[in-house]
Amino acid sequence: MSGKRGNGEGSIYPYKNSFAAYVWVTTPDGKKKRKYVYGKTREEVHDKWIKLHADAKKGPVATRHRTVAAFLAYWLESIVKPNLAPLTYVSYEGSVRLYIAPHLGAKRLDKLTVRDVREWLTKLASECQCCAQGKDAKRAPARRRCCAAGECCEAFTSRRVIQAARDALRAALTHAVVEEEIGKNVASLVKVPKPRRRRIKPWSVAEASRFLADAAAREDPLFAAWVLVLCLGLRRGEVLGLTWKSVDFEAGELYVDHQIQRAGRQILHRETKTEESDDFLPLPALCLKALRMRRAQQTGDRKAAGDLWQDDRELIFTTKYGTPIEPGNLTRMFALRARRAGLRLIPLQKTRNTCASLLVALGVHPKVAQVILRHSKIAMTMEVYAEASEEDVRAALDSLSGAVSGTG
């Protein structure tokens, strides 16, 4: 053997009171470049040199590594924004800007460790976000009342926000692994406590009827919206995204395929989240009557607005000037109407559970309920059906009590 190194193997040499080595590698963009490693001793550099040779044989090797902040900016603009839903981009961008970049942004992407991620999440849970983001300091001096005034308000991050921030980092690092900028996703190796879901009892049949009766008596312009969410289980965005083209009065059908969403500073009229959400639904007599009433109301609003009318999508539910209704405003109006009817408050999204409760009370088969609720899997429908009404639970306990005591 000649003892000479082969072409492209590089070399080890003294460098600034230590040692360095390089290997010719192929970069992700297909170019040939030198990749350097450094160490205090020749043996240390030799081990790194051997590993680098092995990595170079497996595939492309990055010679310049971006910071976490630089990669996240690229990921948001080039991957998330053009390929995912606008609301997903808004969620990821907020997590990156407020929680990830301020803590981990300066670190080199390939040097990020599991320990870094764990320490970041621990700090995030114990740090007042009013202090960290300077929320109180951004107010006018006369309106400052807590952190900027020297009295921390202890606005700690919730479990849900921490989980969202970890999920955003994990999604970004997954793409970094795909692009071969890093070898493993360290964020996926760190577990975070799952936020506990607060169980809220849906309205009973009597409560839903009372709500609709009150809305009808007051000639509520949104009466048809409340009928659709309670009887057909439509989601907030879906009911606001309905157009008159979606309704076939002769066939008694409603086609659900669009939704209204608030994404940052935009209100979007876009397709529903999944293909399973798109479907033709039969319209009961109550829904048809409510929609005819709504059409008459909207005709009156259009005449009253005159040239100020702005509806170019033919939306069913609009403001008095024809503009889309803000999703958040619909939530607030639902709470206001419930309070006005003297009912206990439930979130608007819980009306789908109320719809399921009505289907249970009417004895509707789960497969039919799956079609009405547009669940992708029957297991989702069965989970909702498993939440039996209070009357069913009481009847079951009475039967069990009677069997145990010998009186049943």
Indicate if 47 and 139 belong to the same structural domain: no
Which residues pair with residue 248 across a beta bridge? 253
Element (H, E) at 17: none
**199 within a domain of the structure (yes/no):** no
The answer to whether position 27 is within a domain reads yes
**355 plus 258 within the same structural domain:** yes
Q: Which two tokens stand for residue 209?
A: 């009827």
Tell whether 75 and 139 lie within a shared domain: yes
Range of the domain at 35: 11-58
Residues 6 or more apart whose Cβ sits within 8 Å of residue 150: none
What's residue 304's pLDDT? Answer: 92
Give the whole-angstrom CA distance, residue 83 versus residue 268.
Answer: 16
Task: Give the CA angle between residues 160, 225, 310 to the nearest 5°.
Answer: 95
Tally the residues of the chain: 408
Give me the amino acid identity at 199: R
Give the Cα separation of 343 and 240 in Å (integer).
24
User: Per-residue pLDDT for 243 more than 70?
Assistant: yes
Residue 169, pLDDT score: 96
Tell me the three state secondary structure of residue 324.
strand
Lowest pLDDT segment from 18-22, 176-180, 187-191, 273-277: 273-277
327, 240 in Cβ contact below 8 A? yes
Residue 303: per-residue pLDDT? 92
319 lies in the same domain as 225: yes
Q: Which neighbouring-strand residues pair with 168?
A: none
- Taking only the tens place, the pLDDT of each residue in 182-216 is 888 999 999 888 877 777 787 877 888 889 899 99
Quick check: is 130 in a domain? yes
3 found inside a domain: no
Task: Let me know whether 371 and 228 are in one domain.
Answer: yes
Cα 16 to its chain centre, rounded Å, is 51
Residues 41 and 85 in one domain: no
What residue type is assigned to position 74 of the chain?
Answer: Y
Same domain assignment for residues 279 and 170: no
Question: Is the residue at 397 inside a domain?
Answer: no
Determine if the pTM surpasses 0.85. no
Residue pair 37/49 in contact (Cβ under 8 Å)? The answer is yes
Question: In terms of domains, do 24 and 49 share one?
Answer: yes
Residue 229 shares a structural domain with residue 367 = yes
Taking the CA atoms of residue 321, residue 326, residue 331 and residue 336 in that order, the dihedral angle to the nearest 10 degrees is -30
Name the pLDDT band for 7 (thresholds 50, 70, 90).
very low
Q: Report if residue 405 sits inside a domain.
A: no
Cα separation, 41 vs 179, in Å, equals: 32
For residue 117, give the 3-state DSSP assignment: helix
Alpha-carbon distances, residue 302 vs 188, 218, 258 (angstroms): 53, 21, 23
**Cβ neighbourhood burial of 150 (10 Å; 0-12, 13-18, 19+):** exposed
pLDDT at 2: 42
Q: What's the CATH number where 276 sits?
A: 1.10.443.10
Which CATH number characterizes residue 73's domain? 1.10.150.130
Give phi and psi for 227, each to the nearest 5. -65, -45
pLDDT at residue number 17: 83
Give yes or no for a contact between 214 and 341, defined as CB atoms under 8 angstroms apart: yes
Give the pair of three-digit tokens for residue 151: 């009295």
pLDDT surpassing 50 at residue 408: no
Whether 137 maps to a domain, the answer reads yes
Tell me the two tokens of residue 144: 């400052």
Shared domain check, 305 and 330: yes
Distance CA 323, CA 310 (A): 6
Residues 149-161 have pLDDT tens digits of: 888 888 888 889 9
pLDDT band at 226 (very low <50, low <70, confident <90, very high): very high
pLDDT score for 65: 73
**pLDDT value, residue 350:** 76
The residue that leads in pLDDT, 8 or 133, is 133
Task: Tell me which residue of 137, 190, 132 sits closest to 156, measured CA to CA.
Answer: 132
Distance between CA 276 and CA 379 in Å, rounded? 14
| Residue % of the chain over a pLDDT of 70 | 83
pLDDT value, residue 390: 52
89: left (phi over 0), alpha (psi -120 to 50) or beta: alpha
Name the domain count of the chain. Answer: 3
DSSP code per residue over 228-272: HHHHS---HHHHHT-BGGGEETTTTEEEE-EEEEEETTEEEEEE-
Given the structure tokens 């976000």, which residue do they identify? 129
Q: Residue 193, SS3?
A: coil
Distance CA 163, CA 177 (A): 21
- For 80-128, how does the pLDDT look when each residue is reduced to its tens digit (9 = 90+)? 999 988 888 999 999 999 999 999 999 999 889 999 999 999 999 888 9
Tell me if 197 is assigned to some domain. Answer: no
State whether 168 and 258 are in the same domain: no
Judge whether 25 and 61 are in contact, CB under 8 Å.
yes
| Tokens describing residue 20 | 């360095």
**Angle of CA points 299, 304, 308, to nearest 5°:** 100
295 vs 265: which has the higher pLDDT = 295
User: 343 and 222, same structural domain?
Assistant: yes
Q: If DSSP codes are grouped into helix, strand and coil, which group holds residue 79?
A: helix
